[in-house]
Chains A and B, each alone.
Chain A
Amino acid sequence: MAEKLRASERQLNLLGALLKARDGLLWQNIANVEGYNDKLPERSRQKRFERDLHDLRAQGLVVSRDLEDGARARYTLDRAACLMPALNLRPEQRLLMFQVGSAYLRDGEEGPLSSLLSSALLKLQAGAGREGLPAVVPPSLVRRSLRRRPAEAGVLQEIGAALVTRRHIKFRYEAPDGKTSTRTVAPWGMVSRRGGWYLVARDLDRGAPRTYRLSRIRAPLALAWPDRDAPEYDIPDGFDPEVVFSSEAFGAGENSFRNVQIRFDPQVAFIVRNEFEGIYRLDAHSDGGATLHLPQAYAGELLRYLCEFGGHWRILRPAELRQHVMAHLKGAISGKSGGVA
């Protein structure tokens, strides 16, 4: 029956044996561990052990192999490098850690971080011992999510998982002109702003970082080299995706409008304040209204936000943006809308 053990059970047996044996294990010892003690030839069982050892090392476990008498290999788990030290968390830290876990893991919504985060938090709580959990496990108060648009959910899941495990991916990408091409990239980060997620990645064919809008990524999206099982690349230390792609609320770039000012009337000014106070300059007016100052904005992204407020806003400057928006809106009710029959 032993050879039919699932790999994870067999590896757990091996891990348990290595953890128990402080002086390490010889093959003769390992051959008694369930999963390696079946009737298949010894060489087959040794190969099985070597594959499992490779998997343990891929998990970050440090297992040394030393030759005794020039012949017998002894396998020793480096406990100092493999076990978490006890973490003495203060009660408020424990509670916060628990809140982080429940914010992302509860209620079954899968996200790109879920399974790895769950495992990490379990280890942390275990590392903090019996005091690792709050005295009373509270219900979930806040649900956090990385999801931005329904259309992106599947792609976000796969790219996020590749980013966390440092795996190359390939996908078909549709450029704004409608042409599609296959890209093979190393994900370096994700940037979200109004309108969804953007992937910042090193394009292997172009040898440089590029930005990809998730909603333009077409199936199939897959690992570039699915047979590999280890991290494939490093990201430069401290790399910030925002250097490549701005998370400015309404975009930033060559064709954006600069030094934008919008006045909001008192009925809706507080909504703008809730969203942007302390982030962008906001001048309060005596009537309760406010003027929002934006360093840059694309007209389309800005208009989508402003139209949520009906007629409660007015673009003060720049004049070109004001004219652009007015012409755009007049077109909406002109009866001969551009290209729409």
Chain B
Amino acid sequence: MSELSELSSLLSFLAANRGISLRDAARATGLRVDQICRRLEVLSFCGVPPYSPHDYVSYRLVGHGDDAVIDLQYAQHFARPLNFTPGEALALKYALEHFAGGADEESVGLLAELQEMLANALHGRARELMARTGRGFVVPRKAKVMREMLQTLQDAIDRRRACELEYFSSHRARLSSRRVYPFQVVEHDAAFYLYGWCETAQATRHFRLERIREVRVTDQRYDRRPPPSRKSGRMAGLFEGKPGDSLQVRFAPEVAREVQNDWASAPGAKVQAGRDGSLLLTLPLYNPHWAVGFVASFGPFARIVQPRWLSAELAATVRSILQSHKQG
């Protein structure tokens, strides 16, 4: 995006929201406070002839730190925002569509209204694109029950209410009940996770939404805040902690290329090509159940090199699958 568009958008936003705090402006814009301050500096060099003091955009910060209020002056020419650029129209259209894929019915209706309202409000090419472009980023539909669960959890986070979850842990391969203080729902690698403080584990955890059998929102209000150390937005939590071991798998030449494509850039992964075309993949082992499923899915084309005890787990799992098919 051009810097001009960035600056003029911020100028219009601040002109329309005079008196907004740096903190709220950062929340609303997705920019960091220091980025907003730098852009305000740039904007204060802009003006129109005859360049008397009142012809330059000016600002002052009233108060301290992130709570300081932005008092913007002499930016009246920019008070009304510019029409969308074609790129902005498409980015918003695609984002609204993608967001709707995980939204409840009411929000989906509101999003459709917004899109129509925008198509009517825009001009020129931006209007055409908003009204006539097909889907851009197509993702599998989320089931209604999942979208409703997402909304329930959002409400609980908003009202800071503890939740009781009945959860199927893939680590333990069984259902258990947990009391959780929910902080955020995070989409990662096509799945949604609830990030929160688990009273049972006495630590933060990520709970995959598909594996939640039931959510009960309690009346208990909580004040616990997410720990500052977590890099929110990245799913560091999924790969956090101490890996129990190192998983090493050798893949046959038939699947080596696919494994290389999919895993070479995974966090903590190492790949080593063999002379015979095979591939040795090494990963930190956080979850033996996942590892067994992963290796089993390659059938005869993968073999666990280490840890050796996992080979026994794999054999037991495969035998249980074969057994369940015999019974059928």
Contacts and interface: CB of A to CB of B under 8 A. Distances in A.
Contacts of A337: 252, 299-303
A97 to B, nearest CB: 7
B136 A189 contact: yes
A122 B29 contact: yes
Interface in A326-341: 326-334, 337-341
Contacts of A151: 261-266
B137 A126 contact: no
A140 B232 CA distance: 10
Given A60-B86, A274-B210, A340-B300, A143 B49 contact: no
Interface residues of B, number: 151
A265 B133 CA distance: 43
A314 B325 CA distance: 6
A320 B208 CA distance: 33
A2 to B, nearest CB: 11
A42 interface: no
Contacts of B83: 60-61, 81-84
A32 B48 CA distance: 9
B190 A194 contact: yes
Contacts of B158: 138, 141
Contact of A87 (B96, B117, B138): B117
Given A116-B88, A307-B293, A310-B173, A278 B315 contact: no
Contacts of B140: 192-194, 247, 249, 279
A271 B211 contact: yes
Contacts of A117: 88, 91-92, 95
Contact of A100 (B32, B99, B328): B99
B128 to A, nearest CB: 9
A238 interface: yes
A223 B163 CA distance: 48
B309 interface: no
Contacts of A220: none
A192 B188 contact: no
B213 interface: yes
Contacts of A164: 87, 90-91, 94, 136
B228 interface: no
Interface string B292-304: 1111111111110
What does DSSP make chain B's interface, helix, strand, loop or mixed? helix
Contacts of A194: 140, 190
B16 A333 contact: no
Interface in B181-213: 184-190, 209-213
A151 B99 CA distance: 23
Nearest to A115: B1
A130 B12 CA distance: 11
A150 B187 CA distance: 14
Interface in B297-323: 297-303, 314-315, 317-323
Contact of A147 (B117, B188, B318): B188
A107 B29 CA distance: 11
Interface string A69-89: 000000000001111111101
Interface string B141-181: 10111100110001001100000000010100111000000
Contacts, number: 452
Contacts of A178: 257
Contact of A303 (B118, B139, B297): B297
B276 A163 contact: no
Interface in B5-21: 5-13, 15-18, 20
B4 A216 contact: no
Interface string B25-39: 001111110000000
A13 interface: yes
Nearest to B276: A341
A163 B285 CA distance: 37
Interface stretch (B58-66, B105-113, B216-224, B240-248): B105-113
B88 A311 contact: no
A103 interface: yes
B189 A148 contact: yes
A190 B4 contact: no
Given A8-B2, A105-B30, A123-B12, A241 B292 contact: no
Contacts of A332: 295-296, 298-300, 302, 314, 318
Contacts of A138: 158
B133 A235 contact: yes
Nearest to A196: B262
Given A84-B83, A84-B122, 11 more contacts: A16-B46, A59-B82, A82-B123, A126-B16, A140-B184, A144-B187, A247-B140, A277-B144, A308-B170, A309-B293, A313-B324
Closest 6 CB pairs of A and B: A105-B30, A331-B300, A311-B320, A107-B233, A328-B299, A339-B252
